[in-house]
Protein backbone atom coordinates (compact mmCIF):
# COMPACT_ATOMS: atom_id res chain seq x y z
CA UNK A 1 0.00 0.00 0.00
CA UNK A 2 1.24 3.55 -0.60
CA UNK A 3 0.02 4.28 2.97
CA UNK A 4 2.42 1.71 4.47
CA UNK A 5 6.02 1.53 5.55
CA UNK A 6 7.83 -1.59 4.33
CA UNK A 7 10.89 -2.97 6.04
CA UNK A 8 13.22 -5.57 4.61
CA UNK A 9 13.82 -8.51 6.83
CA UNK A 10 15.89 -11.62 6.30
CA UNK A 11 14.61 -13.13 3.00
CA UNK A 12 11.40 -11.24 3.28
CA UNK A 13 9.83 -7.92 4.24
CA UNK A 14 7.04 -6.66 6.44
CA UNK A 15 4.71 -3.75 5.92
CA UNK A 16 2.96 -1.66 8.51
CA UNK A 17 0.33 0.95 7.75
CA UNK A 18 1.15 4.60 8.44
CA UNK A 19 -0.41 6.30 11.41
CA UNK A 20 -3.96 7.22 10.54
CA UNK A 21 -4.50 4.08 8.47
CA UNK A 22 -5.70 0.67 9.37
CA UNK A 23 -4.86 -2.59 7.62
CA UNK A 24 -2.38 -5.41 7.16
CA UNK A 25 0.23 -3.30 5.37
CA UNK A 26 -0.82 -4.48 1.95
CA UNK A 27 -4.20 -2.89 2.18
CA UNK A 28 -4.33 0.26 4.31
CA UNK A 29 -7.55 2.21 4.72
CA UNK A 30 -7.97 5.66 6.18
CA UNK A 31 -9.31 5.78 9.69
CA UNK A 32 -12.28 8.13 9.99
CA UNK A 33 -11.26 9.65 13.28
CA UNK A 34 -14.41 11.77 13.35
CA UNK A 35 -16.89 8.88 13.32
CA UNK A 36 -14.58 6.70 15.37
CA UNK A 37 -14.70 9.28 18.18
CA UNK A 38 -10.94 9.15 18.49
CA UNK A 39 -10.44 12.71 17.30
CA UNK A 40 -9.08 15.34 19.67
CA UNK A 41 -11.33 18.19 18.53
CA UNK A 42 -12.80 20.52 21.16
CA UNK A 43 -16.45 19.80 22.06
CA UNK A 44 -17.20 23.15 20.41
CA UNK A 45 -15.50 22.24 17.13
CA UNK A 46 -16.41 20.41 13.91
CA UNK A 47 -14.29 17.41 12.93
CA UNK A 48 -13.52 16.84 9.22
CA UNK A 49 -12.00 13.57 8.13
CA UNK A 50 -9.06 13.63 5.68
CA UNK A 51 -7.00 10.84 4.13
CA UNK A 52 -4.54 9.87 6.83
CA UNK A 53 -5.63 12.58 9.22
CA UNK A 54 -8.48 14.88 10.28
CA UNK A 55 -8.99 18.59 10.96
CA UNK A 56 -10.83 20.49 13.68
CA UNK A 57 -12.62 23.81 13.16
CA UNK A 58 -14.18 25.79 16.00
CA UNK A 59 -17.94 26.33 15.80
CA UNK A 60 -19.19 29.83 14.89
CA UNK A 61 -18.99 32.03 17.98
CA UNK A 62 -15.82 30.32 19.18
CA UNK A 63 -12.17 31.02 18.51
CA UNK A 64 -9.14 28.71 18.67
CA UNK A 65 -7.18 26.06 16.77
CA UNK A 66 -10.03 23.52 16.80
CA UNK A 67 -8.46 21.43 19.54
CA UNK A 68 -9.10 24.19 22.02
CA UNK A 69 -12.00 26.58 21.36
CA UNK A 70 -12.99 29.53 23.53
CA UNK A 71 -16.21 31.54 23.42
CA UNK A 72 -15.97 34.92 21.72
CA UNK A 73 -17.34 37.74 23.90
CA UNK A 74 -19.17 39.62 21.13
CA UNK A 75 -20.28 42.30 23.58
CA UNK A 76 -16.75 43.68 23.94
CA UNK A 77 -16.82 45.16 20.44
CA UNK A 78 -19.39 47.82 19.51
CA UNK A 79 -21.85 46.58 22.14
CA UNK A 80 -22.20 43.40 20.06
CA UNK A 81 -24.01 45.39 17.37
CA UNK A 82 -26.89 45.98 19.78
CA UNK A 83 -28.71 49.32 19.73
CA UNK A 84 -27.17 52.07 21.87
CA UNK A 85 -30.37 51.81 23.98
CA UNK A 86 -29.90 48.06 24.53
CA UNK A 87 -27.81 45.84 26.76
CA UNK A 88 -25.64 43.08 25.31
CA UNK A 89 -25.40 39.72 27.12
CA UNK A 90 -22.61 37.29 26.22
CA UNK A 91 -23.50 33.57 26.11
CA UNK A 92 -21.50 30.47 25.21
CA UNK A 93 -21.26 30.46 21.43
CA UNK A 94 -23.59 33.38 21.02
CA UNK A 95 -24.88 36.63 22.58
CA UNK A 96 -28.18 38.48 22.92
CA UNK A 97 -29.41 42.07 22.86
CA UNK A 98 -32.34 43.41 24.85
CA UNK A 99 -33.72 46.95 24.80
CA UNK A 100 -33.29 49.03 27.94
CA UNK A 101 -36.29 49.99 30.05
CA UNK A 102 -38.45 52.52 28.22
CA UNK A 103 -37.56 51.16 24.79
CA UNK A 104 -39.04 48.46 22.59
CA UNK A 105 -37.62 46.42 19.70
CA UNK A 106 -35.49 43.37 18.91
CA UNK A 107 -32.42 44.67 20.72
CA UNK A 108 -30.60 45.59 17.52
CA UNK A 109 -33.08 48.40 16.94
CA UNK A 110 -34.79 49.98 19.93
CA UNK A 111 -37.26 52.86 19.87
CA UNK A 112 -39.30 54.47 22.63
CA UNK A 113 -43.02 53.91 22.95
CA UNK A 114 -43.94 57.11 21.12
CA UNK A 115 -41.73 56.57 18.10
CA UNK A 116 -44.71 56.48 15.73
CA UNK A 117 -46.16 59.73 17.09
CA UNK A 118 -45.00 63.27 16.59
CA UNK A 119 -45.17 65.73 19.42
CA UNK A 120 -44.17 69.32 20.19
CA UNK A 121 -41.91 70.20 23.11
CA UNK A 122 -43.09 72.67 25.75
CA UNK A 123 -39.99 74.23 27.31
CA UNK A 124 -41.05 77.69 28.58
CA UNK A 125 -39.49 78.25 32.01
CA UNK A 126 -42.35 80.59 33.02
CA UNK A 127 -44.72 77.63 32.99
CA UNK A 128 -42.95 75.90 35.89
CA UNK A 129 -45.09 75.98 39.04
CA UNK A 130 -42.02 75.97 41.30
CA UNK A 131 -40.81 79.33 40.03
CA UNK A 132 -43.53 81.08 42.02
CA UNK A 133 -45.67 84.04 40.98
CA UNK A 134 -44.26 85.77 37.97
CA UNK A 135 -45.75 87.54 35.02
CA UNK A 136 -49.38 86.59 34.44
CA UNK A 137 -49.68 87.95 30.93
CA UNK A 138 -49.49 84.71 28.99
CA UNK A 139 -52.48 82.94 27.48
CA UNK A 140 -52.66 79.61 25.69
CA UNK A 141 -56.27 80.09 24.53
CA UNK A 142 -56.86 81.14 20.94
CA UNK A 143 -54.36 79.88 18.40
CA UNK A 144 -53.44 76.85 20.52
CA UNK A 145 -52.97 73.78 18.29
CA UNK A 146 -54.49 70.56 19.57
CA UNK A 147 -51.71 67.98 19.27
CA UNK A 148 -49.33 65.90 21.37
CA UNK A 149 -47.09 67.87 23.72
CA UNK A 150 -44.10 66.86 25.80
CA UNK A 151 -42.87 68.94 28.75
CA UNK A 152 -39.08 69.37 28.69
CA UNK A 153 -36.68 71.48 30.82
CA UNK A 154 -36.59 74.22 31.84
CA UNK A 155 -40.40 73.96 31.88
CA UNK A 156 -40.04 70.63 33.74
CA UNK A 157 -40.88 67.04 32.88
CA UNK A 158 -44.68 66.84 33.17
CA UNK A 159 -47.88 68.82 33.43
CA UNK A 160 -48.55 69.94 36.99
CA UNK A 161 -50.58 67.16 38.58
CA UNK A 162 -51.74 69.08 41.63
CA UNK A 163 -53.84 72.23 41.73
CA UNK A 164 -51.39 75.14 41.27
CA UNK A 165 -51.90 78.44 43.09
CA UNK A 166 -53.48 81.27 41.06
CA UNK A 167 -51.12 83.76 39.44
CA UNK A 168 -48.59 81.05 38.70
CA UNK A 169 -47.25 79.43 35.55
CA UNK A 170 -47.48 82.60 33.49
CA UNK A 171 -51.15 83.40 33.96
CA UNK A 172 -53.81 84.24 36.50
CA UNK A 173 -55.46 80.88 35.84
CA UNK A 174 -53.06 77.96 35.53
CA UNK A 175 -54.33 74.72 34.00
CA UNK A 176 -53.17 71.36 35.36
CA UNK A 177 -53.61 67.63 34.85
CA UNK A 178 -56.24 66.03 37.06
CA UNK A 179 -56.12 62.27 36.74
CA UNK A 180 -53.94 59.22 36.91
CA UNK A 181 -50.72 59.22 34.96
CA UNK A 182 -50.09 56.05 32.90
CA UNK A 183 -47.22 54.11 34.46
CA UNK A 184 -46.70 51.30 31.94
CA UNK A 185 -44.68 52.06 28.77
CA UNK A 186 -47.10 52.38 25.86
CA UNK A 187 -50.12 52.85 28.14
CA UNK A 188 -52.66 55.60 27.39
CA UNK A 189 -55.11 57.07 29.87
CA UNK A 190 -57.84 59.62 29.28
CA UNK A 191 -57.77 62.05 32.20
CA UNK A 192 -58.77 65.65 32.38
CA UNK A 193 -57.21 69.07 32.53
CA UNK A 194 -58.60 71.56 35.02
CA UNK A 195 -58.16 75.31 35.40
CA UNK A 196 -57.70 76.98 38.77
CA UNK A 197 -60.18 79.82 38.37
CA UNK A 198 -61.71 80.52 41.80
CA UNK A 199 -61.95 76.77 42.16
CA UNK A 200 -59.38 74.12 41.37
CA UNK A 201 -61.26 72.37 38.61
CA UNK A 202 -63.06 74.85 36.39
CA UNK A 203 -63.47 73.94 32.72
CA UNK A 204 -62.56 70.25 33.06
CA UNK A 205 -61.72 68.85 29.64
CA UNK A 206 -60.69 65.38 28.49
CA UNK A 207 -57.02 64.89 27.70
CA UNK A 208 -55.25 61.76 26.53
CA UNK A 209 -51.92 61.03 28.26
CA UNK A 210 -49.49 58.45 26.90
CA UNK A 211 -46.52 56.85 28.64
CA UNK A 212 -43.64 56.89 26.16
CA UNK A 213 -41.32 54.88 28.39
CA UNK A 214 -39.18 57.56 29.96
CA UNK A 215 -41.56 60.49 29.57
CA UNK A 216 -45.23 61.39 29.08
CA UNK A 217 -46.99 63.17 26.25
CA UNK A 218 -50.36 64.91 26.44
CA UNK A 219 -52.88 65.68 23.73
CA UNK A 220 -53.80 69.11 25.07
CA UNK A 221 -57.05 70.86 24.10
CA UNK A 222 -57.44 74.56 23.41
CA UNK A 223 -58.15 76.34 26.74
CA UNK A 224 -61.59 78.03 26.69
CA UNK A 225 -60.56 81.57 27.67
CA UNK A 226 -57.73 83.92 28.64
CA UNK A 227 -55.66 84.07 30.68
CA UNK A 228 -55.21 80.34 31.02
CA UNK A 229 -51.85 78.62 30.58
CA UNK A 230 -50.75 75.03 30.92
CA UNK A 231 -48.77 74.69 34.13
CA UNK A 232 -45.74 72.42 34.33
CA UNK A 233 -43.82 70.71 37.11
CA UNK A 234 -40.50 68.96 37.58
Q: Give the angle 177-145-143 at the CA atoms, nearest 5°.
A: 110
Instruction: Closer to Ca ion by CB, 95 or 177: give it.
Output: 95
Give the shortest CB-51-to-Ca ion separation in angstroms. Answer: 6
By CB under 5 A, the residues from 99 to 158 that bind Ca ion are none
Instruction: Report helix, strand or coil for 129.
Output: helix
**Three-class SS of residue 79?**
helix
- Residue whose CB is less far from Ca ion, 60 or 204: 60
Question: Any contact of residue 90 with Ca ion (CB under 5 A)?
Answer: yes
Least CB distance to Ca ion at residue 71 (A):
5
For residues 49 to 88, the per-residue mask of contacts with Ca ion, x marking binding by CB under 5 A and - elsewhere, is: x----x----------------x-----------------
Using rule CB under 5 A, residue 96 touches Ca ion: no
Nearer to Ca ion, 48 or 192 (CB): 48
Calpha distance 131→84 (Å, rounded): 35
Give the torsion sign (CA, 189, 144, 113, 185).
negative
30 binds Ca ion (CB under 5 A): yes
Whole-angstrom distance, CA of residue 194 vs CA of residue 133: 19
- Nearest-10 Cα torsion for 218, 222, 225, 230: 20
The angle formed by the CA atoms of residues 130, 132 and 138, to the nearest 5 degrees, is 105
Q: Does 39 interact with Ca ion (rule: CB under 5 A)?
A: no
Q: Nearest distance from residue 14's CB to Ca ion, in Å?
A: 23
Nearer to Ca ion, 60 or 132 (CB): 60
On whether the CB atoms of residues 82 and 69 are closer than 8 A, the answer is: no
Binding stretches for Ca ion (CB under 5 A): 30, 49, 54, 71, 90, 95
Amino acid sequence: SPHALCTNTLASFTCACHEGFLGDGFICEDIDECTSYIDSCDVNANCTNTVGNFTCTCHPGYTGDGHTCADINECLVDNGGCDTQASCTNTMGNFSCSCNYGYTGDGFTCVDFCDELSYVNISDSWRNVNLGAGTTSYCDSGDWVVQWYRVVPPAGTRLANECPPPDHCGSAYPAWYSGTEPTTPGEEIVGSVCTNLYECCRFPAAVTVRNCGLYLIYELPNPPTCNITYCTDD
